[in-house]
Structure 1
Amino acid sequence: MKKDKITFNKGIYSLNKEPNFNFQLNRIVMWNDGDLEEIKRIAHKIRNSDTWKKELIDIGNKAVNEGRIKEAIAYYRMSEFFMYDKDPDKVKYYKLAVEMFYDYYKEYFDDKTVINYQVPYENVILPVLYTKAVGKKKDTILLHGGNDSYMEELFFVMLYFAENGFDVYLFEGPGQGGVMRIQGKHFTYKWEEPVKTIIEYLDIDDITIIGASLGGMLAPRAAAYEKRIKRVIAWSIFPNFFSVVLSRMPYGEQKIVKLLMKFHVAPIINLLFNLSAKKDATVDWGIKHGMYAYNAKSPYDYAVKLSEFQIENIGHLIDQDVLVIGANKDHFINYKIFKDELECLNNIHSLTFRLFTDKEIASNHCNMGNTKLTLDTMINWIEQIK
């Protein structure tokens, strides 16, 4: 089913007292076309990963029975979010949601509004969706997500850019979506490698790359080594994944963890992270998803890998125009670490930093409370830079 015009929901709702459950419930409504009233009815029942899974599958089944396929896609897709490695339902509901998505929106593909490319990369296939600019082309955008995204979630972001004059290539890389869940390809911090493969396969140049969430680190990293990228939008403050994780801790705890990591005290690190996971659902999800997507055998191993995902040591290689976008109440990222990012970008052509706030209804992670405002800001920046 095609939409007459691409629009986005607006709002930030208090749905669950646990910050990450609350954010992901908002995400279902804002980015996945879930029904707000339906989510409100189940939100208070969610206390842990098991109740998350049960409640979302239940309302997904209800939506299917009532013929509300758009909502069912949202619920099934997000039901797997807090399913962890070894749960057979994780792949089952991921595949179900994706199959339903492409069937429901098949008109976009039947009339060639969107073209699907399959790009060979190492031992896997990277999926790329392409849509052509409406009217005169302003620029070419290469768009991707981050730590826990899948590209269908950015489908209408892609189409919105196209409506506003941009050719857009939306892709999943290692560690993301089906590349991880179906093909088993884990994350690489050397994001320039899959990006270069895609650019050469599609034969594109003079590109603006946009990376959301962890993509706020991956996209600048790719630009450091791939100069066909001329403009970079980091859709989250993300200088160093390990520092992002530490930024949620009190300063004293940060110092202790850094010291333990320096001396490779793995048993104590594992104990501390496991104790923290029992008290904090966000930490629990972060560790379990991280070990799954980054091929880590322990919390300590995951922490070591996180330190590789950073731009601080290669910031001087980034010489393009850069836009960094943050949010003042991001539950994942303390926006004050923007200083670390701006300081490491010391050789760029130009630098713009935009901090969205609660007054703009865009203060949450990836500003999804006000997606239109965020995308319009990106569009305006590209137009001004070009």
Structure 2
Amino acid sequence: MQMMTGDQEITGRFPVGYHPLHPNVSLNFQLNRFHGWANEELMLKEMRTAAPRIADYADWTREMLALSDTALSAGRHLPAAHYARATQFFLRPDDPRYAPARQRFLHNAETGNGVTAADRHQVPYGATRLTAYRFTPDRPRGTIVVFGGYDSYIAEWLPAALALRDAGLDTVIFDGPGQGTVLDAGTPMTPDWHLPVASADWFLGQGKRVMGAATPAEVFRAWRAYRTDDVSHLVTQDVLLLAGAADHYVPPHMLGDQILTLNAARSLSARVFTEAEHAHNHCQIGNQGLALQVILDWLDQVGGRTAHPAEG
């Protein structure tokens, strides 16, 4: 039987701090991102040592792969996984290093998080299948379904999924069209997804792949189908919106714009995370635990998570 664990202990598993690791804003964000999920102090030292040698994406790939090799040889599964994900991040899919880095990431992310074959599922979707994970506590207090964004593999999110399970939630996470393993299998994004904004050079290359487009012009034309203002009035459940005060991908005004479209929601809560909280960046990188705590508190407020069951 699972022992009940308090929310603060659960969210306290994640590191707090957004670190100045590289002068390039985008690369610094990615370094903090992967450290935040692996949560190993040694990674910060390794990244600071490697950062001066990184001036472009070729340097990035070389240094991240070397760090992954070092971590793997030492049996450090999560750092090996996230350095491999960093290696893959800016590579084209036809690069011979892409597939091995992807496989190393997935294998070590699952191993490092204690994922078993019973936790992994293949969900039928049209002519393909979606990679999903399900983690169910002994006594579920609610259910939560999570998917990622424009550049995600849902396996990155395994530590958070396990935290939500330990907080009493039957937790399902999955890669959808245009994401992670599903994109690698050839299924691009569809207008049913909201996509984040990313920086120009990598953004357009990734955009062509994600959207199934041949040129940047086709990417921009495809984006026109991705809007929510024509369906937002149909959202009638409780809604929680999270934003970073210094998100360098999503402009701050988009939070207010989104709020104004959700005029039929039963309730709407919004939370802006600040630099003082180390959560002011995209996806609250720097303090993911705080974001999870806000989500859990909100679920309690709106009835999405029942009270602790009595011990049997």
What TM-score do the two structures reach when normalised by structure 1? 0.72
1:142 aligns with 2:145: yes
In structure 2, distance between residues paired with 1:337 and 1:121: 31
**Paired residue for 1:337, among 249, 254, 259?**
254
2:121 to 117, 131, 152: 117
Counterpart of 2:137 (choices 133, 136, 145) is 133
Task: Quote the offset at 1:104 in angstroms.
Answer: 4.3
Report the CA distance between 1:180 and its aligned residue. Answer: 1.0
For the pair 1:38 / 2:62, whether they are aligned, the reply is: no
Aligned to 2:20: 14
How far off its partner does 1:162 sit?
1.0
> Percent identity of the aligned residues?
30
In 2, Cα distance between the equivalents of 1:342 and 1:108? 37
Quote the offset at 1:348 in angstroms. 1.1
2:215 is aligned to 298
Distance apart, 1:72 and its partner CA? 1.3
Contact 1:324 / 1:354 at 8 angstroms: preserved in 2? yes
Correspondence list, 1:226-375, <5 A: 282-375=199-292
Structure 1 moving runs of 4+ over 4 Å: none
* Residues 106-150 of structure 1: per-residue CA shift (max 9 Å, x gap): x4427x5xx22211111111111111135x422100011111111
Task: Give the match's secondary structure for 1:130.
Answer: strand
Residue pair 1:60, 1:71 contacting (<8 A) in 2 also: yes
Query: SS state of the match for residue 242, structure 2?
Result: strand
Which has the bigger relative contact order, CA under 8 A and spacing at least 6? 2
CA distance in 2, matches of 1:20, 1:79: 15
Deviation for aligned residue 1:96: 2.2
Q: How far apart are 1:103 and its partner, in Å?
A: 3.9
Counterpart of 1:153 in structure 2 is 156
Which among 57, 61, 74 is matched to residue 49 of structure 1? 57
- Aligned position for 2:105: 97
Q: Distance in 2 between matches of 1:51 and 1:295?
A: 28
CA distance in structure 2 between the aligned counterparts of 1:340 and 1:67, rounded to whole angstroms: 46
**Within 1, Cα distance between the matches of 2:169 and 2:77?**
29
What is aligned with 1:75? Answer: 83
What's the CA shift string for 1:338-385, capped at 9, x where partnerless? 221111111111111111110111101011211111101001101110
The letter for the 1-side match of 2:19 is Y
Alpha-carbon RMSD across the aligned residues, in angstroms, is: 1.9
Aligned partners of 1:178, 1:53: CA distance in 2, in Å? 20
Which residue is equivalent to 1:197? none
The CA distance in 2 between the partners of 1:323 and 1:69, in whole Å, is 34
User: Alignment partner for residue 171 of structure 2, among 153, 164, 168?
Assistant: 168
Question: Residues of 2 paired with 1:146 and 1:360: CA distance?
Answer: 23
TM superposition score normalised by structure 2: 0.88
Aligned mate of 1:188, from 181, 187, 190: 190
Aligned-pair CA distance for 1:9: 1.4
Aligned residue type for 1:49? Y
Unpaired segments ≥5 residues, structure 2: 304-312
Pick which of 115-124 and 82-91 moved more. 82-91
Q: In structure 2, what is the equivalent of residue 177 of structure 1?
A: 180
1:379 to 268, 271, 296: 296
Work out whether residues 125 and 179 of structure 1, in 8 Å CA contact, stay in contact via their aligned partners in 2: yes
Q: Which amino acid aligns with 1:122?
A: G
- Deviation digits for residues 57-76 of structure 1 (CA, Å, limit 9, x no counterpart): 11111222333333211111
Distance 2:105 2:276 in 1: 34
Contact 2:14 2:289 in 1 (8 A): yes
Task: Evaluate the alpha carbon distance shift between residue 100 and residue 337 of structure 1 in structure 2; reply closer, same or farther with a 3 A threshold.
Answer: closer
CA contact (8 A) 1:15 1:44 kept: no
For these two proteins, the number of residue pairs brought into alignment is 292
**Alignment check: 8 A CA contact 1:84 1:292 kept:** no
The alignment partner of 2:104 has SS state of helix
Q: Which runs of 5+ in 1 are unaligned?
A: 192-216, 219-240, 246-281
What amino acid sits opposite 2:187 in the alignment? K
Q: Deviations over 1:193-234 (max 9, x none)?
A: xxxxxxxxxxxxxxxxxxxxxxxx37xxxxxxxxxxxxxxxx
- Give the superposition deviation at 1:94: 0.4
Q: Which piece of structure 1 moves more, 53-62 or 33-42?
A: 33-42
SS of equivalent to 1:287: helix
> Cα distance, 1:29 vs. partner?
0.6
Alpha-carbon separation, structure 2, partners of 1:374 and 1:24:
18
Looking at structure 1, the residues matched to 154 and 258 of structure 2 have their Cα atoms a distance apart, in angstroms, of 26
